[in-house]
Amino acid sequence: MVVSKTLIKELLSESDCSHSKIKKSGCDKPKPGNTSGGCAYEGAQISLFPYADTAHLVHGPHTCLGASWETRASLTSYQGENNTPLGYCTNITSQDIIFGGDKKLGEAIEYIVTKKRPKAVFVYETCVTAMIGDNIDHICKTAQERFDIPIVPIHAPGFVGGKNLGSKLASESILSFLIGTKEPETIHPFGINLIGDYNVTGDMWQYRGILEKIGVKVVSTLSGDGRIEEICQAHRAKLNVLVCAKSLVSLCRKMKERYDIPYISVSFYGKRDTSNALRSIVRALRDENLSKRAEHFIKEEEWRLEKMLLPYKKELSGKKAILNTGGNKSWSIASALQDIGLNVVATSINKSTEEDIELAKKYVGIVFKNPSIDQPKLIDEHGIDILLAGGRSLYTAIKKKIAFVDVNQEKKLSYGAYAGLVNLARDVSLALSNPVFKLVGEKAPWES
């Protein structure tokens, strides 16, 4: 696979992306400084790291490895050695820049395969190794023939753009080198691929069990709790389900063209969205009995959930919240917060697509783009009780003496599907009753 200008242009003007349909424009082109929010290599690694049965080898300086390593609690049920927290790197030095890093890469692959016995190896290209022109494709191909396991080059060097583009490029490698390379023993009539959920804090586990109870089989995942053997068989699924990840829409479109697999986009945050997601999946699989089973299950689960949420809803009713997370979470988490009785006054639309912005406006009255300026202003103007955001916004909450809950990847518990909503309600309730947020912004006793 070659990362040509044509491929990057194609990925940045995805015909199935919302901005192409709404604004008739392409994605934002990479700008200088763009990678300060995470480079393409980081995006690629974040989206593939959850394959715990695969060794992730970074071909570059070790500082690249540190950029995205261990930033997300992607959980796995893999019984063998978990490769996700292991940081493999060729640690390219100035010597290698002069003489080339090919030999070092070949030796690193040999070491990993013989000592660790992973199911596959992903080799991530970085800025340095892309610029010195190491022939990663050739080394991976030779190693694959020698060791008889997939050795996949991931061409997403940091300089080509931001995280989003890196995630798209990673999916290009998966499509080129893995999907369609193995035939399953049986083809399930209701087999689906779950695409774009990284199972952070076990979010995917909250709804995977529900799907299986209804009778839907998860053929493969990209990449939460993923397995290499399963993704190789993904071409035999009947439906691709894109979970909260617009960046992988190109992969879904290409699988539709290549393997005739339709795709839908869903969210599993909150009661309404979880029920809607289940309905959308069974509707797309077109089976009356499956739909009946799903409806029956949804009714039972919603009844059970409401009973558990009742005490929280009473407590949280009328409390005002601001959500600052961005992307598709600008509306999906907002909907979950409304489901537990909070009044979501405003939501940030940072890094949201046109489609996300339209949806966010349907759920929430005020949308804002510049959190550092808008967030404190909105807290004062509307008498906000709680801020739900990523870790960096904690300081705004402390300054304003309001409660705070981390809803980004640093969160500790899953907020996915029905059971996750109870976790969210509990965390919001605990934060609102926690005196620390008011106390910590006060002067120390000896200062006053």
- Residues of the shown chain interacting with ligand SF4 in the complex, contacts defined by CB under 6 A: 35, 39, 41-42, 60, 64, 67, 126-127, 157-159
* Closest separation in Å from C-beta 67 to ligand SF4: 4
* Closest separation in Å from C-beta 299 to ligand SF4: 48
Choose between 96 and 427: whose C-beta lies nearer to ligand SF4: 96
∠272-278-281 over CA atoms, to 5°?
A: 135
* Closest separation in Å from C-beta 169 to ligand SF4: 12
**Which has the closest alpha carbon to 89: 117, 118, 123, 40?**
123
422's tokens: 């109870």
d(CA 248, CA 255): 11
Choose between 134 and 339: whose C-beta lies nearer to ligand SF4: 134
Q: Is the peptide bond before 223 cis (omega within 30 degrees of 0)?
A: yes
Choose between 64 and 139: whose C-beta lies nearer to ligand SF4: 64
Choose between 64 and 282: whose C-beta lies nearer to ligand SF4: 64
Choose between 131 and 187: whose C-beta lies nearer to ligand SF4: 131
* Closest separation in Å from C-beta 62 to ligand SF4: 10
Q: List all residues 6 or more positions away from 161 whose beta carbon is below 8 Å from its beta carbon.
A: 8, 12, 30, 34, 35, 39, 40
d(CA 269, CA 238): 24
**Which has the closest alpha carbon to 131: 109, 155, 152?**
155
Task: Answer whether 40's CB lies under 8 Å from 157's CB.
Answer: yes
* Closest separation in Å from C-beta 30 to ligand SF4: 11
* Closest separation in Å from C-beta 167 to ligand SF4: 14
The residue with its CB nearest to ligand SF4 is 158
Work out the number of other CB atoms within 10 angstroms of the CB of residue 18.
19
**Which has the closest alpha carbon to 195: 213, 171, 214?**
171
d(CA 78, CA 117): 14
d(CA 88, CA 69): 10
Choose between 157 and 416: whose C-beta lies nearer to ligand SF4: 157
Choose between 35 and 332: whose C-beta lies nearer to ligand SF4: 35
* Closest separation in Å from C-beta 171 to ligand SF4: 18
